[in-house]
Structure formats: structure tokens, C-alpha cells
Structure 1
Amino acid sequence: MSVEAMRYDGAPQRRSHIMAALRRKGFLSVAEISEQLGVSQMTIRRDLRRLAEGGEVVLVHGGVSLPPGGITNPGYASRALSHAGAKLALGAAAARLVQPGDTIGIDSGTTAAEVAHALPEEFAGCVITHSVPVLAHMLSRPRARVIGIGGELLHDNQAMVGFAALDLVKRMRVRLLFLGASAVDERGAYVRSEVELSAKHAFLDIADEVVLLADVSKLAATAPVQVCGFDRIDTLVVDGPLPEKVAAAARRTGTRVLTA
């Protein structure tokens, strides 16, 4: 069906288009959907309310996201396979910043986890993390000290979150924090859910330096919840050229850009 047909009498087709795009991206803004389908934002909001009433989406400020843990929400394992080569390269490039006796923090998420995999065998420092996959990997690295941050298990991100995690993190310090994100633009880093924010902010507060890892797909993605601006990011590790607005933001804040 053409966009013109959707404009007037294609509500079911519009909603199908919205769900298909949402499964690919995780978040869509009302303005973005309106432009794609050539209908008013008021019409799109009606479509989104209908989808939300059926439990298929969650309405957030300015747009819509998939429900956390929903069957349409891409799980950790499937995200790990997406852009897997780029994530390996990013992890290796980031791990080269680590010194043998460093204390480092590794955020949750499939990209940040690759830093743990790329740590050199001789690494004998300390890893602090709330990522369950990172903890599992570090079982094979007995020379390193590992501190796991406890809390409630967030299944979708395979990470521990909540007050127990925050209480422990705030008493620590890391030289480098390896931060993950769902999307990056000229304003900073974003995630899909506010549930992730508290742990990320706690780690940001104890880090001497923050290293953000983002493959190029994250530079074209959108997500609703801002983690931090570029002023909090010391190093951005990417696997390709930056959009000009993002490059300008990095220059303005003095953020170092490393290409994997």
C-alpha cells in the first residue's frame, strides 16, 4: 500500500508499519513516524494510543518504545549478534586503553562486554561491573580481581540494578569506565529505558575517565532516555566516521575520538 493510501484509510497498515520499524530500532519519535507515513502527528498519536492499549508498545515522551522484556523486544543474545564484528573491534580498541594494574568499570550491554573479552591475559587489575555476562567471562581470568555489583536482575540487559547496586558503587572509584549506549547523537548518549539510568549514573560519578563505545549503527539510532552529554565523555570509540554534528560536539567538549 502506498503512503498516500495510508494517509486516509490505512490505520491497520500504518500500525503494522510502525511495529515493523519499532522492532528494527527500539524507539521511534512521533515526528519521525509522521514524516515517514505522510500523516499528521495527531493521527500518529491516535495510532500509538491504540497500540499501547493492546500492550504492544509503551508511550514515552515524544514517541514510543517496545515494552521491556516483550516478545518483540530484541533480547541480549540477538543484540550480541547484531554488528558483532564491529563490537569485537570496539572492545579491542577500548581494551588497549587499559593498563596492567588498572581498576576499571564495565557497563552492561553487548558492546561494553567485549572490553572484558579483549583484556590482555596479563591483566591483573580490578574489574567492577553489574553485567552478568562480564562476570561470567571473568571467571576464566583468575589473575584479575572482580567485584560484582548486586541488585535486581534486569533480564533484557542481563545486568543487576537497584538500590543495592547503587549503595556499593558509590563507595568505589575506577580509572576508566567503559560505557555502553543504545544511541548517540550530538547531545550525548541515550538508552531505551529509565531503569538503566541509576546504575549508569552511579558509575559515571565514580569514574576518572569515561570511554563510550558505539558502533556506527548507534549513530543512526534513536532512544528516548539521555544518559549524559558529551561533556561527560572523555573518549568516544567508534568503528567509522562520525556525522558532522556529532564530530562538532566532540570537538567542542574536547572528547577524544578513537576509530577501531
Structure 2
Amino acid sequence: MIPAERQRTILTLLGNQEVISISELTHQLDVSHMTIRRDIAKLESDGRVMSVSGGVQLTETIHTELSHDVKINQHRNEKAEIGMYAAQLIKPNMTVYLDAGTTTLEIAHQLNHRDDLLVITNDFAIACYLMNHSECDIYHTGGKVDKSNQSCVGQKAAHLLREMNIDLAFVSTSSWNQRGISTPSEDKVLVKKAIITSAQQCYLVSDSSKYGKVATFHAVDIDSFDKVITDSDFPASCIDDLSERGIEVATV
């Protein structure tokens, strides 16, 4: 059986059960563990499956994002830990971008004592918090308002970002895999691409519950990120895969 046939068979099997172990696949397809791992790596790079401990499952497709008010109450401990770790990476006198999101809001919560930073954001909650609780200089991108996400998106927001020289960007997402980050909103793609272009370093900040999900619009390749900051439930096999591609992974 050629690789393409094996990979189609793996997808068919996954259509009938949620998770399949590596051992079960080697038995059913009568090939080695190494062969199955290569097949899974190809399917994962295509965004079709995701690795889990000892096995593989289909990628979850999302068509809409939860609102800011809903997301802020999910995985709060993980987001707080990510926020504390990420804030420690911000050096004196940096120009920093905080992408819209409840994880990046946790980074903002750690900047109360900073008066040496210029912070750029498209997120209204982040801008409001920093206005009231920090001495940072603040730029909001402006642009088309996404009411549910409490942020600005689209070409106007992207235009401001392309005009800025940013030292460090923290980028958020509701869906990502080994291929990269994706979004149900085409307007958000413009913002994500603009920040990747403008920042010297880009860090993806996301709790592990977002991994293995894919949305309609591919926004940014995973290789665009210098570092991924996530929580300790992120699969070890995925850390190895990202490390082989030169992307540092920090689990907190």
C-alpha cells in the first residue's frame, strides 16, 4: 500500500472512532511504527489530524469563535500562568504588541509596574486595563470593530501595524495545529499577517485546548513563530515536532 492509500485509510478509520493508537494502526495496516508516524506527520502537516498521547485523532473544525465574555471564564488558570511567564520575556523599553484575546489580557495584567513600554493592541479590554492600571504608552490600532471579540480587525487595523516597528509580538488564536493558526474571520487574517511582518519576534500564546482545531481561513504558518507558549497538557510529541522545525516551546 502506497503512503497516500495508507493515509486515506487512517482518515477512514478515524471517521469511525475518536482516537486510534499507534499500535492499532500498525496492526491494521501491517507496517512499522516509523511508517505510521511518517503518515501521521504528513496528515498533521496538512491539518487533517492531531497527535495525542500514544495515538491520533481527527482535527476539530470550528466555524465560529466564542465571544470574549465566554472565553474569559475558560481555562483561567492556564491563561494566568501563560500570562505571567510571557510578561517576564518583555525586556526594558520594548515596543510590544498584544493581540486580541483573553490570554494576552493576562499578559497585560502583569504590566502594572511597567512604565518603560510602548504597547500596541487591537483589543479594547487590554487597552482599557492598561489605561487604568499601568504607566505604559498605549496605541490602539482602530479599525473595524468586532463586537463579540471586543477588538478591531480588517484593513485599517492591519495598516497601522504595518507602519510600526515592533520588538516583540504576542499573538493569540482560537485554533492552531502543526500547519499554523487559522480563524473563522477573514478580517482577522489581515491583522495576523500584518503583525508577523512588523515584529522582530513573534510568540504564539495559547492554552493547549486550542491545539488540533482548524477554522476556515488559514492565517499564519507555524514557522512564522519564534516561540510557542502553552500549558503543560500540550502533547510531548508535538513539542518534539515543533522543536525539529526550530520553534521553541515553553509549557507552563
Secondary structure of the 1:176 match is strand
Query: What is the alpha-carbon distance in structure 1 between the residues aligned to residue 242 and residue 172 of structure 2?
Result: 17
Normalization by structure 2: what TM-score?
Answer: 0.72
SS in 2 for 1:160: strand
Can you give the 5+ residue segments of structure 1 that lack an aligned partner in the other structure? 1-29, 38-61
Q: Secondary structure at the match of 2:176?
A: strand
- Report the identity percentage: 25
Shift of 1:133: 0.8
Residue 211 of structure 1 corresponds to 203
SS in structure 2 of the partner of residue 112 of structure 1: helix
Q: Match of 1:169?
A: 161
> 2: CA distance between counterparts of 1:32 and 1:135?
47
Give yes or no for contact 2:192–2:220 (8 Å, CA) kept in 1.
no
- How far apart are residue 187 of structure 1 and its match? 1.5
Alignment of 1:195-234 (within 5 A): 195-234=187-226
The answer as to 2:223 corresponding to 1:236 is no
SS at match of 2:72: helix
**Match 1:100 to one of 81, 92, 100:** 92
Q: What is the total number of aligned residue pairs between the two structures?
A: 202
Tell me the C-alpha RMSD between the 2 structures. 2.6
Residues 152 and 162 in structure 1, CA contact (< 8 A), matched pair in contact too: yes
Q: CA deviation at 1:98?
A: 0.4
Corresponding residue SS for 1:240? coil
Separation in 1, partners of 2:13, 2:62: 13
Q: Does 1:145 align with 2:137?
A: yes
Q: Which is worse superposed, 74-83 or 236-245?
A: 236-245
- Distance in 2, Cα, partners of 1:170 & 1:153: 19
Shift of residue 36, structure 1, vs aligned partner: 6.3
* Stretches of structure 2 lacking an aligned partner (at least 5 in a row): 1-10, 19-58
1:4 alignment partner in structure 2: none
Contact 2:154 2:188 in 1 (8 A): no
Change (3 A) 1:65 1:216: closer
**1:253 CA displacement:** 2.1
Q: What does residue range 154-165 of structure 1 map to in structure 2 within 5 Å?
A: 154-165=146-157
* Alpha-carbon separation, structure 2, partners of 1:193 and 1:105: 20
Mark the CA change 1:166 to 1:32 in structure 2 (over 3 Å): closer, same or farther.
farther
1:97 alignment partner, SS class: coil
Q: How does 1:1-260 map to 2 (within 5 A)?
A: 35=16, 65-66=62-63, 74-260=66-252
Distance 1:251 1:104 in 2: 25
Q: For the structure 1 residues 253 and 63, does the alpha-carbon distance in structure 2 shift closer, same or farther, using more than 3 Å as the test?
A: closer
Q: TM-score, normalised by structure 1?
A: 0.70
